[in-house]
Structure 1
Amino acid sequence: MKNCVIGMAFCLLFSCGEKGKNEKKDMTAESESKSMVKFMTLDPGHFHAALVHKKMYGQVDSTTYVFAPEGPEVADFLNKIEAYNTREEAPTHWKVEKFFGDDYVEEMLAEKPGNVMVVAGKNSKKIDYILAAVKAGLNVYADKPLVINKEGFEKLKEAFKIAKENNVLIYDIMTERFESTTMMQKLFSTMPEIFGELVEGSADEPAISKESVHHFFKYVSGQPLVRPAWFFDVEEEGEGIVDVTTHLVDLVQWEAFPGQQIDTTDIEMINARRWPTVLSQDEFEKVTGLGEFPDYLSKDIKDGKLYVYSNGEMTYRIKGKVAKVSVIWNYQAPEGTGDTHYSIMRGTKSNLIIKQGEEEGYKPVLYIEAKDPEGFEGALNQALANKISQQFPGTSAEKISGSQWRITIPDTFKIGHEAHFGQVTENFLKYFEEGELPSWEVPNMITKYYTTIEALQKAKE
């Protein structure tokens, strides 16, 4: 009898112990689940929404949620996710929970199955999505541009204020900061022995210039990109001067004033202009799949052709330095080429120039042009052996004239535009874990969009 009682007590103790362990495991699992990042993609109308999911992230739950109206855009998003999941090399394993309906925004805000809203689509709606998300206590990870007009900019300032109050983040996806040639240009500009310091510049010869050329028809993830018809409506997508220029204005700030806060009062718009890219009906059909122009584009049609104000240029003063930013959209790149980038930073000791033309095989290449070649090569070689090799080992310089050197960056650092989305996302996840952005990011985001909106207003005068 005594042995029986002892046995029962042991079983009860063992049972309680196991129960306690299981409860502890459940609580740990629940805690880990709550601490993980969970993506919710809202109304994905641009392929950038899918590129965020081209890889997996250790701190991101493998279940991702999409809230959207039914249609070809969300279908394209889901097809890309499926392609990433089923590819042979490094397949992803996203599980997608879907909600389709006209009340997709309300459903997301009511359910809130995730804690980070990913948004890439109609730029006209984006700021309203962002504002609603931060009011609901959600973090925002958004494709550029966040705003395309003055009314949107006022909402953006309100959104940042509410985000701070609710302790959530708003972060825009600046992929170009991770392009190796641009990173190298920035790195050299921080070396007084090579670059000196940024000159003041003038409207005719700015201290820093950036120009990008893009194409409506191109290939993404190996497939022809089909753009929605609204992409060509500047009231939805925004004019070029407030769209792609967002990247270039960001790079001006990021390279010329690294780690510094920039206020809207530091910006003075000197001049700005805009002009259209003209598309024929056949070109429009090739890139959208539609046999005719939708009625809402009739305002932009002249003599049977579509005039899209996708091109823009601005010259402005930022913290006393003159900068120039230009964006050009062509229909299709010549065979063997693609989107291109040109940039120059003028220093007191040298100019740092990025070219991407025929001579460079349409790949970005950095050149350094010394203003006084005497002793410069020695300083350059020392910089390559010390500071440059720490971040870009294997980088070399080839002298191509008495005062110019071509910088060769190893291919391992040239991972391509699509892969940059993963790098930006990892950066965002680091900030998410820390609970805050660097002190300069929010004021500089506000100033960045102030600059593009000011340029649009100036171009329309």
Structure 2
Amino acid sequence: MKLIILDPGHFHASLLLKDTIRQVNDTVFVYAPRGEELEQFLQTIKTYNSRKDSPTSWVLNVYDEADYLEKMIPDKKGNVVILAGNNKNKTKYIYRTIASKLNVLSDKPMAINRQGFELLEKAYQKADSNNVYLYDMMTERYDILNIVEKELIQNKELFGELQQGTPDDPAISMESVHHFYKEVSGVPTIRPAWYYDVEQQGEGIADVTTHLIDLVNWKCFPEEAIDYKRDINVLYATHWPTKISLDEFTKSTRLKEFPNFLRKHVKDSFLHVYANGIIHYQVKGMNVAVKVRWNFQAPDGGGDTFNSSIKGAKAVLKTCQDKQENYVKQLYIQKNDKISSKKFEKNLQKTIEKIQITYPFVTLSRPLPDGTVRIDIPLGKRAGHEEHFKHVAKQFFEYLANRNMPDWEISNTLAKYYVTTKAVEIAKEGN
């Protein structure tokens, strides 16, 4: 594989190159406009190349003139284009690249509004006719807790059938909390100003929820094709802003004032960023609620968090990551009151023994007073978020090499972006 990096405005572009990738040529071609975003990307790769432990050996061939996109397409220096940057341009980049018969590995979100969704659907149609692949970077599939939870859900003797739930009491609930100011690879992340513009970055319910909806599809309907026209019904969506002070904005971007394109979102000296929201929807008749929140900075000792609940006929699976858990993500299972403790414990032990064939470090804690059991996974066996990117890349490159990307990857990606972009429309109508 020969990589082309197009307009790398988000640090996820550099994370894909954090480690040497066996299937990839060391020479990487970069096409981007000059500016701080490009310089930050180049500096990060330089750091990876020069580190003491397991240094990489990337050779970057950079074209940084204003016509970078028009230059990249006829050059065709590689066969896989990596996209991670301004989401206002991303769907157009995707379509132009696919139309040029180049494969695309794209950071989320691939679309942030209805127009983007419609163009994304056309891009998939064009990819099919041009015999190229388009793939979404769904890193959360490689979190070991999600992998184990998927196994537990699919064991019907233990978990039972997924419950339907109701709009007021969903079968599946997920909440993700993120922070604008954070460190990546030990260095504070400098956000571009456009990251705070929902017309360029996308609203929170168009962005982070892509991971949550993907996990719903991947865990609860594995390898099942989901048709957004037939299987999806978006019931309700709302959103609200995170208020960012000028001091916080300066700390995050190094800019001394809000740029002109953001000033229409400034009220009472605070920048209002619609980064928070809730979506209630149905997939194959099952009721789902996803929620995203963005704060400026995590509390001391904290970080991004994720909490979820998935209800089966025989048990409920819960993921908790909060102050009570010292911000460490933990997975729990609680039996249904109608199931005998003896039968539940037997099925749980049997299921864990099966999981231990592949993941021998997975064990069970002693039951809590309410019968809840924690699925113990040592911290040393958990790869961090930054490590998940190489697994996404490896999966995509295997699909490319074997020409075997399953159809459900495409239909389920479209279903996901239908939910997010439809939700943005509904939330705006409710303002």
**Counterparts of 1:215 and 1:86, CA distance in 2:** 29
**Counterparts of 1:197 and 1:390, CA distance in 2:** 24
1:72 to 11, 18, 36: 36
1:396 to 363, 387, 392: 363
Secondary structure in structure 1 of the residue aligned to 2:52: coil
- The residue identity in structure 1 corresponding to 2:53 is E
1:353 to 286, 308, 318: 318
1:179 to 127, 143, 160: 143
**Counterparts of 1:360 and 1:304, CA distance in 2:** 36
Any conservation in 2 of the 1:373–1:403 contact (CA below 8 Å)? Answer: no
Question: What do the CA deviations read for 1:94-148 (whole angstroms, capped 9, x no partner)?
Answer: 0000001110001101211100000100001001111111111100000000000
- TM-score w.r.t. the length of structure 1 is 0.91
- TM-score w.r.t. the length of structure 2 is 0.97
Identity score, percent: 45
Match of residue 292 from structure 1 = 257
Secondary structure in structure 2 of the residue aligned to 1:83: helix
**Counterparts of 1:47 and 1:342, CA distance in 2:** 25
Q: Which runs of 5+ in 2 are unaligned?
A: none
| Structure 2 residue 401 is the aligned partner of structure 1 residue 437 | no
Secondary structure in structure 1 of the residue aligned to 2:158: coil
Any conservation in 2 of the 1:373–1:402 contact (CA below 8 Å)? Answer: no
Match of residue 422 from structure 2 = 454
**Counterparts of 2:125 and 2:24, CA distance in 1:** 26
Any conservation in 2 of the 1:42–1:67 contact (CA below 8 Å)? Answer: yes
Give runs of ≥4 in structure 1 deviating > 4 Å. Answer: none
2:121 to 152, 157, 172: 157
**Counterparts of 1:316 and 1:56, CA distance in 2:** 40
Deviation, structure 1 residue 412: 4.1
Secondary structure in structure 1 of the residue aligned to 2:66: coil
**Counterparts of 1:388 and 1:373, CA distance in 2:** 23
Question: What do the CA deviations read for 1:187-229 (whole angstroms, capped 9, x no partner)?
Answer: 1000112101100011222111111000000100000111000
Q: Which runs of 5+ in 1 are unaligned?
A: 1-36
Match of residue 247 from structure 1 = 211
**Counterparts of 1:394 and 1:67, CA distance in 2:** 43
Any conservation in 2 of the 1:43–1:119 contact (CA below 8 Å)? Answer: yes
Deviation, structure 1 residue 359: 2.4
- The residue identity in structure 1 corresponding to 2:78 is G
Match of residue 10 from structure 1 = none
Any conservation in 2 of the 1:64–1:97 contact (CA below 8 Å)? Answer: yes
Secondary structure in structure 2 of the residue aligned to 1:393: coil
Larger radius of gyration between Structure 1 and Structure 2: 1
**Counterparts of 2:314 and 2:359, CA distance in 1:** 22
Match of residue 85 from structure 2 = 121
Name the CA shift for 1:56/1:374 in 2 (closer, same or farther; >3 Å): same
Question: Counterparts of 1:352-391 in structure 2 under 5 Å?
Answer: 352-371=317-336, 372-375=339-342, 376-385=344-353, 387-391=354-358
**Matched pairs, number:** 424
Match of residue 216 from structure 1 = 180
Match of residue 72 from structure 2 = 108
- The residue identity in structure 2 corresponding to 1:295 is N
Deviation, structure 1 residue 150: 0.7
Deviation, structure 1 residue 377: 1.3
Match of residue 308 from structure 2 = 343
Match of residue 9 from structure 1 = none
Deviation, structure 1 residue 374: 2.1
Deviation larger for 202-211 or 335-344: 202-211
| Structure 2 residue 101 is the aligned partner of structure 1 residue 133 | no
Match of residue 98 from structure 1 = 62
| Structure 2 residue 280 is the aligned partner of structure 1 residue 312 | no
